[in-house]
Structures are given as structure tokens and as C-alpha cells.
């Protein structure tokens, strides 16, 4: 009987899932993901998780709940660092402990630490630990690790070509999905935010889909090489501590330099700690660097945010940008 | 003479005032935080920044208007947001049109050279030699230590006082005495005098007060305005409180070294990772308080404080395993005194009840059949 390991469709799913899928598949372990977010999943998570947590964390609890009776073990890696430049948000650092303390009746949790800050070995130490834990030899783990890297590289390649994360994953599964092509003359909007917030269609209220329907070209931070984003983020007097925040800030600077961007939309979760800082920095710098040429909107989303409200705000923003273009 | 200011955190402002004045600057002592200070901070701070950020921003606005030219503050290494406050405060204040210099000191171990060069700029600016500067620091440190000792003594005395409010009054008299003491000798005699004053408060030694440990985030714990004077409130309800953080002890263990390892080790089974700020400490210290026979623990945390949210979600499990009641208080600009007092009263009632039950148990064993 093959081992079934649960991987919640939240948080690092949108940035690192292909690696883990490649790795586990090659080992012969079945990886089970939770279904896309629904109202029930979010409500369950919000009920169980600590009240002050941000939505993505509550949502993660909800996804864990949907998986807990279907799998032999849950894979909740403790994401500490994936490069030497920054750590993850403290809620990622404490994630396995939070889940363990909050939810009951869970299958065993695999909470190995991912800390690629020190050496050149990347995720290998974690993979080696996993193989030892699950009883595979290092001889089988190494090709699996390589396989994971291959998947991740292919995934990131697709993202840079303009695929959105879910499309890129569908493409990797072999479905015929095409990246949205850029339409000349349409508005260019950068939609920035943490992947687990922007690409979860339910909690982001499908902002990207809505904007695409309004005929806007969407740019995201995944379309840029992370190395460049980190370079740009060091323009701040002190580099931010958090991985995704650096990417968002770097992308802001990149799109401000690019010059053909009409507006930047920052998607943030209610109660997100790092974003309190990031949002203010973006607001001040977008205004300061572009001299008012680039419009900035911050969309904060919580459990209560309504679809209609977001649509109205997006429409107003897009209308305003159209008008600006005409006046120019 | 340059005008120098700093953030207001508890009673430490007396120590920093002395430090700045002894260096030959004019100290702009930050006014005690008030609702007005907080309002000004809230106006310009990001909505979801934690309350210390807003409070400190409000304080800076006040001292800058009083003419401060240099602000000295502490940094941090993350992943707690406090480490970036210096940068964002500076950006916001400059955007508002203020002209000033800000020195943000990160813990020296994270970058000895950077720490040294910053310090050199400050010391040179003051026109001090290094030995003279060391002397200045020693005096300020002695004062800070004295303040911590007095605070601890006051919260140990308060539940026994016969006349309600007497300890707090005496403590504020002591602050004035400490403020007057300028050199090591005077500080030593101020210590004698203040300890005598606090010990002479008429008390009822027959009381058997509850013991509550306070854990949480450093700023809301140290600043009485922020935590709605939790130590005084609890003390006057008849509870001995012990804070897990005192400034000098924290500086010695966490800023200059790598943290209190025993507390972190206690937290390992529940939180096996440093999450920034005092998240891991809050978990470990709760266990420590449980082991030392405290009746309960109160966690104070600013709203949206990331490390404390991690701790808060783990504390219920710790509370269950170690059989120690834990009350989590989340504090933001809307927190009202009456609400907090009610919750504390209810918590204390619960602890009293619990203690009575535990004390009754041995007798039950003595009298079988009843």
C-alpha cells in the first residue's frame, strides 16, 4: 500500500508545490492535496485558528481539517529560509506548532525544517531527513530530489513566461493551457502580493480574473526572476526580514522602473503583520519614485470582504486609469 | 548643544535621560504617553502596525516638535517587525517634512563593525573620549538597574499594603529621588533610601496573595500606559506579579548575548523555533511560571504582533498540560481600561476558587467518608 501524505492547498502551495510533488512522486509516495478553497473550508479554519491570525493562516487550518481523515501523515514543513537573504514570516516559522496546538485528532505531522540559508545544498538536507523518516535509502532520495528541482525549475520557467501559478501547474500536469497574451493598448497593471493571497481564487475574490475581464494586462512578481527582485529590494536602507515581502518590494521597484505601468495593486490580508510595513513602504515609494505617474491601490481582504465591493473598487480604479490615459 | 531624544518605555526614560545629558547633549525627555500621543501616531502609522509602532511614532512627533534634532533608538534582527521600525519611522517622518538625524542601534552581535561605527559617530559628536563614555554608560546602567529593582520591589509590596495606593505613591516619590541621583555613589544611596521607603509602607503580612506571572511583548509589558497599569491593577486586587522581562535583564541576556537558553529549551516541545520578538519566550516562561508554583499567567500582546500570535495559539495547549490558567490580553488603540479590569477580576476570581479547591483537597484526604 502506498503512503498518502497530505499537502494543504494554501501558503507555500503556490510557490513550492511542484518541488514537493516531484520529490514525493519519484519516491512513490502519493501526495494528496486539499480541494480548492470554499466557504466551508474558510469558516472551519476561522473557527479553529487563533482569532488574531491573518486569513491565510486561518485558511491553512481549514485545509488541514479537510485532509486530516484522508491521509497517513501531513506534510507541514517549517519554512525558515530558502536562501540566505531572508527568513519567512514568524507565522510560517511556527506553523507546525500552531497547527499541532490548535487542532486535535490529526495524523502525524511531518514538520521538518527547511533552512537553506547556510549551505549550497538547498533543500537537500530536508529531503534527506524526509527519506530517513519515511524509510527510503539515500540512493532513492537523491534522484527524487533532482526530480523535484526539475519540476520546480519548469514551473518557475512557466511563471516567468506569464502563466499564473494555477495555470502553470495545470500545464505541468499536461493540460493544454495558454498563458494570457498581452494586448497592446490595454492598461498595464501590476498585481502584487503574497502568492498564497493573490492566487487563491476564493480569498482573493479572483481579482486577477476580474481585471482580465476588464481587458487589463496583468503583471505579477512571479514573472520576474527572484534574483533581480532581491537585488532591487536591497535598495531599502535595511532589507526586510521576510522572504515574500522582499519579492513584493523588489517587484514594486522593478515595475516602477519599467515605465509602462499604469497602476500597482497591492493585495494584502487583513491582519498581515509584514504587510503593515510593506504596504506603507510601497505607498510612500510609489508616490515618491514615480512622481504620481503610477497609481497605487491597496486591497485588504478579510473573511467578510464581499465580491461586489471588490468589483466596484477595481472598476473605479480601472476607469480612473483610463481617464488618466486620455488626459495625458 | 544638540538636542537628543529617544522613545519612552516604562520608567527607563530616567536612565536614558541621564545617559544623554552626561554625554553633553540636551535631553528632550519624551512626555509620558497619553491618548493624545497615541492618536497622533495612529494618524500616520499603517493601520495594522502594532501599537508600539504607533505609540513610538506619536512620541517622535511630540519630541520633534519640541525641537529634538537627534533620535536614538534600538533596532532588531527580525523576523519581528520591530527591527524595521527605525527605517519606517524615519521614512514617515521625513515624508511629513521633519528634519532630524536618527541612530538605530542593532544588537552588536549582528554586526560589530556597524555597531561600532555608529557608536563612534555618536560619541565623537558628543566630544567624549572612550573611557569617559564608558563611565557615562556605567552610570546610566546603574540607574536602569536600580529602576528595575524598585519596580520589582513595588509589585512585591503592593498586595500587602494596608492603605490602597500607598505603594504606587511611594514608588513615584522614589522616581523623583532616583532622578536626582547623578553619580554611582548617589545612585547607591538612592537605592538605600528608596528601598527603605518601600519597606516602611504599613503592611499586613498575614495576607496570602495570589502569584501571577506576566509574559508577552516587551513594549506593552514595560510601558504602564500601554498595559493599562496591569501591575498596579493586579497588585491592588491583592496579587503579587512578576514580569518576565525587565529592561536590564533583557539587555544582558537577549541584546548582548543569544537569549535565555533555559527558557527557550523549555519551549522546545511546543515551539521548536525562534519566531522573533518574545514569542518563544512567552511559551517557555509560562512553563517556567507553572513550575515555580505561580497561580496563573497573563500574556500581554499588541494586536497583530506576529510572534505573540504564534505564542497565543500554542499557550492553550501549554496551559492544559501544565495546569496553569493563562489569560491572553490583546491590546490595541481601542482597548479600554474597564474591559481589561473586568477580565482581570474574573481571572483572579477563577484563580482564587482554584486555589481554595486545591487547598481543600488535603483535608478531604484526612477525613475519609465525609
Q: Is 80 exceeded by the pLDDT of residue B52?
A: yes
Distance from the Cα of B312 to chain A's closest Cα (Å) equals 7
**Each residue of A3-37: pLDDT tens digit?**
899 999 999 999 999 999 999 999 999 999 999 99
| Whole-number Cα distances in Å, A164 to A161, A176, A223 | 9, 14, 9
Domain boundaries, chain B: 3-128, 130-206, 209-370
Question: Chain B partners of A88 at a C-beta cutoff of 8 Å?
Answer: 79
**Assigned architecture for domain A185-327:** 3-Layer(aba) Sandwich (3.40)
A113 forms beta bridges with A78
Sign of the Cα pseudo-torsion (A271, A88, B82, A191, in order): negative
| Whole-number Cα distances in Å, A98 to A112, A282, B187, B296 | 15, 30, 46, 22
Helix A13-27 to helix A165-172 angle (10° resolution) is 20
Place of cell 492618536: B39
Write the DSSP symbol of residue A199: S
| Whole-number Cα distances in Å, B175 to B10, B151, B200, B328 | 12, 10, 16, 30
- A265 phi/psi in degrees, rounded to 5: -110, 125
Sign of the Cα pseudo-torsion (A244, A245, A246, A250, in order): positive
**CATH level 3 topology of A4-160:** Rossmann fold (3.40.50)
Residue in B77, B274, B309 closest to A50 by CB: B309
Pairing of strands A4-7, B101-105: unpaired
Residues of chain A with pLDDT under 50: none
Q: Which has the minimum average pLDDT: B185-189, B257-261, B322-326, B347-351?
A: B257-261
User: Grid coordinates standing for A54?
Assistant: 491573518
**Each residue of B267-289: pLDDT tens digit?**
999 998 888 888 899 999 999 99
Q: How confident is the model at residue B199 (pLDDT cuts 50, 70, 90)?
A: very high
Question: Contact B91/A281, CB-based, under 8 Å?
Answer: yes
> What percent of chain B is modeled with pLDDT above 70?
95
Write the DSSP symbol of residue B25: P
Q: Which of A26, A20, A64, A269 has its CA nearest to residue A169?
A: A20
Question: Contact A241/B310, CB-based, under 8 Å?
Answer: no
> What percent of chain B is modeled with pLDDT above 90?
62
Write down the pLDDT at residue A157. Answer: 93
- Nearest-Cα residue of chain B relative to residue A49: B313
Residue in A49, A238, A284 closest to B95 by CB: A284
Q: Give Cα B292 to chain centroid, integer Å.
A: 21
| Whole-number Cα distances in Å, B147 to A256, A263, B179, B195, B257 | 50, 53, 10, 11, 22
Flag whether the ipTM exceeds 0.85.
yes
- A292 phi/psi in degrees, rounded to 5: 80, 5
B48 contact A CB<8A? yes
- Beta carbon pairs, A and B, within 8 Å: 121
Question: Chain A partners of B309 at a C-beta cutoff of 8 Å?
Answer: 50, 52-53, 91, 273
B309 contact A CB<8A? yes
User: Grid coordinates standing for B238?
Assistant: 491583592
A117 contact B CB<8A? no
Where on the phi/psi map is residue A271: left (φ > 0), alpha (ψ -120 to 50), or beta? left
How far apart are alpha carbons B318 and B324 in whole angstroms? Answer: 8
**Residue B331 C-beta-side C-alpha neighbours within 13 Å:** 30
Place of cell 525558515: A80
CATH 3.40.50.11900 for the B209-370 domain, yes or no: yes
**Each residue of B314-328: pLDDT tens digit?**
999 999 999 999 999
B105 contact A CB<8A? no
CATH ID of B3-128, from 2.60.120, 1.10.540, 3.40.50, 2.40.50:
3.40.50
Residue in B77, B78, B313 closest to A49 by CB: B313
How far apart are alpha carbons A68 and A62 in whole angstroms? Answer: 10
**Partner B, chain A 8-47, Cβ-Cβ below 8 Å:** none
B334 contact A CB<8A? no
Question: Chain B partners of A281 at a C-beta cutoff of 8 Å?
Answer: 88, 91
Distance from the Cα of A276 to chain B's closest Cα (Å) equals 5
How far apart are alpha carbons B255 and A50 in whole angstroms? Answer: 30
Domain boundaries, chain A: 4-160, 185-327
Instruction: Return the exposure string of A114-140: e unless at least 16 CB atoms fall within 10 Å of the residue's CB, then b.
Output: bbbeeeeebbbbbbbebbeebebeeee
Kindly report the pTM of this predicted structure: 0.90
Question: Contact B274/A279, CB-based, under 8 Å?
Answer: no
Question: Contact A280/B86, CB-based, under 8 Å?
Answer: no
Question: Contact B81/A276, CB-based, under 8 Å?
Answer: yes
Q: What integer is the mean pLDDT of B329-339?
A: 88
Asked if A91 and B312 touch (Cβ cutoff 8 Å), the reply is no
Burial class (CB in 10 A: 0-12, 13-18, 19+), A323: exposed
**Each residue of B118-138: pLDDT tens digit?**
899 888 888 888 999 999 999
A80 contact B CB<8A? yes
Q: How confident is the model at residue B370 (pLDDT cuts 50, 70, 90)?
A: very low
Write down the pLDDT at residue B360. Answer: 75
Does an H or E element contain B96, and which? Answer: none
One-character DSSP codes across A52-113 = TS-HHHHHHHHHHHHHTTT-SEEE--EEEESSSS-B--HHHHTHHHHHHHH--SPPPEE--E
Question: Chain A partners of B277 at a C-beta cutoff of 8 Å?
Answer: 90
Q: Do domains A4-160 and A185-327 have the same CATH topology?
A: yes
Asked if A102 and B312 touch (Cβ cutoff 8 Å), the reply is no
| Whole-number Cα distances in Å, B265 to A277, B76, B279, B326 | 31, 22, 13, 20
Amino acid at each position: 500500500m502506498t503512503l498518502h501524505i497530505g499537502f494543504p492547498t494554501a501558503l507555500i502551495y503556490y510557490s513550492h508545490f511542484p518541488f514537493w510533488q516531484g520529490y514525493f512522486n519519484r519516491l512513490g509516495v502519493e501526495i494528496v492535496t486539499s480541494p480548492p478553497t470554499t466557504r466551508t473550508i474558510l469558516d472551519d479554519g476561522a473557527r479553529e485558528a487563533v482569532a488574531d491570525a491573518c486569513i491565510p493562516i486561518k485558511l491553512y487550518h481549514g485545509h488541514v481539517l479537510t485532509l486530516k481523515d484522508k491521509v497517513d501523515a501531513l506534510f507541514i514543513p517549517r519554512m525558515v529560509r530558502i536562501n540566505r537573504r531572508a527568513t519567512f514570516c514568524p507565522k510560517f516559522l511556527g506553523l507546525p506548532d500552531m497547527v499541532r496546538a490548535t487542532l486535535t485528532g490529526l495524523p502525524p505531522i511531518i514538520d521538518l525544517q527547511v533552512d537553506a540559508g547556510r549551505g549550497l545544498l538547498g533543500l537537500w538536507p530536508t529531503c534527506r531527513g524526509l527519506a530517513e523518516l519515511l524509510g527510503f535509502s539515500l540512493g532513492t532520495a537523491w534522484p527524487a530530489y533532482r526530480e523535484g528541482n526539475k519540476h520546480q525549475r519548469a514551473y518557475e520557467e512557466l511563471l516567468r513566461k506569464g502563466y499564473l501559478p494555477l495555470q502553470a501547474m495545470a500545464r505541468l500536469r499536461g493540460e493544454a493551457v495558454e498563458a494570457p497574451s498581452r494586448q497592446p493598448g490595454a492598461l498595464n497593471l501590476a498585481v502584487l502580493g503574497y502568492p498564497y493571497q493573490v492566487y487563491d481564487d476564493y480569498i482573493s475574490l479572483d481579482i486577477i480574473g476580474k481585471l482580465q475581464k476588464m481587458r487589463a494586462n496583468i503583471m505579477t512578481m512571479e514573472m520576474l526572476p527572484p534574483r533581480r527582485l532581491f537585488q532591487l529590494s536591497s535598495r531599502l536602507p535595511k532589507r526586510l526580514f521576510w522572504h515574500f515581502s522582499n519579492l513584493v518590494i523588489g517587484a514594486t521597484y522593478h515595475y516602477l522602473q519599467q515605465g509602462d505601468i499604469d497602476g500597482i495593486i497591492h493585495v494584502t490580508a487583513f491582519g498581515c503583520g509584514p504587510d503593515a510595513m510593506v504596504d506603507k513602504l510601497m505607498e510612500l515609494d510609489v508616490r515618491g519614485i514615480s512622481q504620481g505617474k503610477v497609481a497605487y491601490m491597496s486591497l485588504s481582504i478579510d473573511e467578510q470582504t464581499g465580491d461586489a465591493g471588490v468589483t466596484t473598487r477595481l472598476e473605479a480604479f480601472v476607469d480612473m486609469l483610463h481617464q488618466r490615459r486620455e488626459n495625458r | 548643544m544638540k538636542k537628543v531624544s529617544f522613545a519612552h518605555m516604562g520608567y527607563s526614560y530616567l536612565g536614558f535621560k541621564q545617559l544623554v545629558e552626561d554625554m553633553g547633549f540636551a535631553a528632550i525627555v519624551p512626555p509620558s504617553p497619553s491618548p493624545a500621543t497615541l492618536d497622533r501616531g495612529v494618524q500616520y502609522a499603517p493601520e495594522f502596525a502594532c501599537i508600539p509602532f504607533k505609540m513610538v511614532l506619536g512620541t517622535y512627533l511630540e519630541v520633534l516638535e519640541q525641537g529634538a534634532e537627534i533620535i536614538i533608538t534600538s533596532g532588531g534582527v527580525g523576523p519581528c517587525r520591530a527591527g524595521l521600525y527605525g527605517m519606517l519611522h524615519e521614512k514617515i517622518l521625513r515624508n511629513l517634512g521633519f528634519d532630524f538625524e536618527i541612530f538605530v542601534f542593532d544588537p552588536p552581535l549582528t554586526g560589530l563593525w556597524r555597531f561600532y561605527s555608529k557608536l563612534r559617530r555618536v560619541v565623537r559628536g558628543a566630544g567624549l573620549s572612550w573611557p569617559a563614555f564608558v563611565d557615562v554608560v556605567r552610570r546610566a546602567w546603574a540607574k536602569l538597574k536600580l529602576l528595575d529593582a524598585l519596580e520589582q520591589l513595588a509589585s512585591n509590596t503592593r498586595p500587602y499594603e494596608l492603605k490602597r495606593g500607598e505603594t504606587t505613591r511611594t514608588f513615584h516619590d522614589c522616581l523623583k529621588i532616583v532622578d536626582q541621583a547623578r553619580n554611582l555613589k548617589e545612585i547607591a544611596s538612592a537605592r538605600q533610601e528608596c528601598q527603605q521607603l518601600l519597606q516602611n509602607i504599613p503592611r499586613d503580612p498575614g495576607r496570602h496573595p495570589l502569584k501571577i506571572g506576566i509574559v508577552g511583548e516587551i513594549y506593552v509589558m514595560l510601558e504602564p500606559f500601554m498595559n493599562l497599569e496591569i501591575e498596579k491593577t493586579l497588585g491592588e486586587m491583592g496579587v503579587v506579579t512578576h514580569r518576565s522581562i525587565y529592561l536590564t535583564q533583557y539587555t544582558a541576556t537577549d541584546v548582548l548575548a543569544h537569549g535565555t537558553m533555559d527558557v527557550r529549551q523549555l519551549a522546545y516541545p511546543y515551539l521548536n523555533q525562534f519566531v522573533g520578538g518574545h514569542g518563544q519566550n512567552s511559551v517557555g516562561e509560562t512553563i517556567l511560571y507553572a513550575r515555580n508554583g505561580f497561580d496563573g499567567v497573563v500574556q500581554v500582546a499588541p494586536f497583530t504582533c506576529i510572534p505573540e500570535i504564534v505564542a497565543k495559539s500554542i499557550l492553550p495547549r501549554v496551559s492544559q498540560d501544565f495546569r496553569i490558567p493563562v489569560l491572553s490580553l490583546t491590546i490595541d488603540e481601542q482597548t479600554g481600561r474597564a474591559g481589561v479590569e473586568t477580565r482581570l477580576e474574573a481571572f483572579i476570581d477563577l484563580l482564587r476558587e482554584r486555589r481554595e479547591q486545591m487547598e481543600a483537597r488535603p483535608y478531604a484526604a484526612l477525613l475519609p467518608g465525609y
